[in-house]
Structure 1
Amino acid sequence: MKSMEARLARMALKGDQHAFAEIVGLYQDKLYYMSYRMLYNRQEAEDVVQETFLRVYKNLDRYDDTMKFSTWIYRIATNLCIDRLRKRKPSFSLDAETGDHDGIDGYSMIPSDDRTPESELMLSDTQRIIHNAIETLPAKYKSVMVLRYLQDMSLQEIGDVLELPVTTVKTRVHRGREFLRKKLEHKL
């Protein structure tokens, strides 16, 4: 797959729009899924995917075909998601439980444009609790957890995407799991 993607990238760099369309076709759904799992917002995930492909197109000449194309494109998308998560951070702690609602923290009070009464009813309590727990993860743990458990990437691949040593990735996976375990201990 690496050689096919590298070939498509070279062809797109020479102006072949069909080759670039093939790259979009290969990655559009995968990048949307990953972005949505990090941002939990349909519009933001779509924006990230679009921005990722714009950056890929503008920077095809910088792609180093000695690295996997998937690593390069996931790095761009992940960084865009992390940037959005950081910009979203309010000045007060959303992790603190609100006094008037048992077990409800500030994140669950943020309205989401994706939620409808129908979709809310369809989510089981367990899914909702897990979703809320993942939402509260700090960006550096959230990106690692999404890539590891939802995108099924190896620790080495995550290290390549995030430009981190594998030991740091292992530590973040461990801390992310601990963070989720503590959050979920009292709720499930």
Structure 2
Amino acid sequence: MESKIKRLIKKIKKGDQAAFEEIVNLYKNQVYNICYRMVGLPHEAEDLAQETFLRAYTHIDQFKSDKTFSTWLYRIATNLSIDYLRKKRPSTYLDADIPGTEGFTMYMHVPSDERLPEDRLIENEKQKIIHYEINQLPPKYRSVIVLKYLQDLSLKEISNILNLPETTVKTRVHRAREALRKRLRHF
């Protein structure tokens, strides 16, 4: 896969827009998910994902071919999301509906026809609360939680994306988990 990506990047650097479209198709879901998990708003996540690909295209010459492209791309998405949060912090209220959670579980993709409606309702409410609490974390902690537990990336990959030492990432993951544990202790 990585050799295919490197071939596409060489084509993009020569001006091949079809190659870039292929890159977008390969990574659009992952980039959108990172942005969405960071900002919690579908429309804003779409805009940030588009901006991520625009920045990647316009700065493709800055990509070093000895690095992993996905790490570079995810770093752009994460940084744009953090910048968005710094500039325009969305207000969320406890009784507000969390977009995108109607009728399914956001973090646990294990739907079953055998579950009772009451069980689904309880699970959805739990997920709304967890999503809300993740969104209350400072961006530096939210980003590591999103990348580690929702994108299932390793500490090394997160370290590369955020351009931080692996020990710092590990500390932030621990502190973020502790903060979430305290906020969710009544569950």
Distance between the aligned counterparts of 1:3 and 1:151, measured in 2? 23
Aligned to 2:156: 156
1:2: Cα distance to partner? 2.0
5+ long unaligned stretches in structure 1:
91-105
The superposition leaves residues 17-74 of structure 1 with CA deviations (integer Å, 9 ceiling, x where unpaired) of 1110110001101111111111110011000110011101101111101100001100
For residues 34 and 116 of structure 1, do their structure 2 counterparts lie closer, same or farther at Cα, with a shift above 3 Å needed? closer
Distance between the aligned counterparts of 1:117 and 1:159, measured in 2? 34
For residues 131 and 115 of structure 1, do their structure 2 counterparts lie closer, same or farther at Cα, with a shift above 3 Å needed? same
Aligned to 2:25: 25
Aligned to 1:180: 180
Q: Give TM-score scaled by structure 2 length.
A: 0.84
Match of 2:92 among 101, 107, 120: 107
5+ long unaligned stretches in structure 2:
105-119
Of all paired residues, the percent bearing the same amino acid is 52
Q: What letter matches 1:76 in structure 2?
A: I
For residues 110 and 139 of structure 1, do their structure 2 counterparts lie closer, same or farther at Cα, with a shift above 3 Å needed? farther
Aligned to 1:144: 144
Within 5 Å, give how 1:8-87 maps onto structure 2. 8-87=8-87
The superposition leaves residues 64-119 of structure 1 with CA deviations (integer Å, 9 ceiling, x where unpaired) of 011000011000000000011111348xxxxxxxxxxxxxxx73259679379878
For residues 152 and 115 of structure 1, do their structure 2 counterparts lie closer, same or farther at Cα, with a shift above 3 Å needed? closer
Secondary structure of residue in 2 paired with 1:26: helix
Distance between the aligned counterparts of 2:86 and 2:76, measured in 1? 16
Secondary structure of residue in 1 paired with 2:153: coil
Distance between the aligned counterparts of 2:18 and 2:102, measured in 1? 41
Distance between the aligned counterparts of 1:75 and 1:110, measured in 2? 32
Contact 2:94–2:132 at 8 Å: present in 1 too? no
Aligned to 1:97: none
The superposition leaves residues 115-174 of structure 1 with CA deviations (integer Å, 9 ceiling, x where unpaired) of 79878x967221111111111111000000100001110000000000000000000000
Aligned to 1:101: none
Count, aligned residues: 172
Secondary structure of residue in 1 paired with 2:24: helix
| RMSD of equivalent CA atoms | 2.4
Contact 1:41–1:112 at 8 Å: present in 2 too? no
Q: What letter matches 1:107 in structure 2?
A: T
Aligned to 1:131: 131
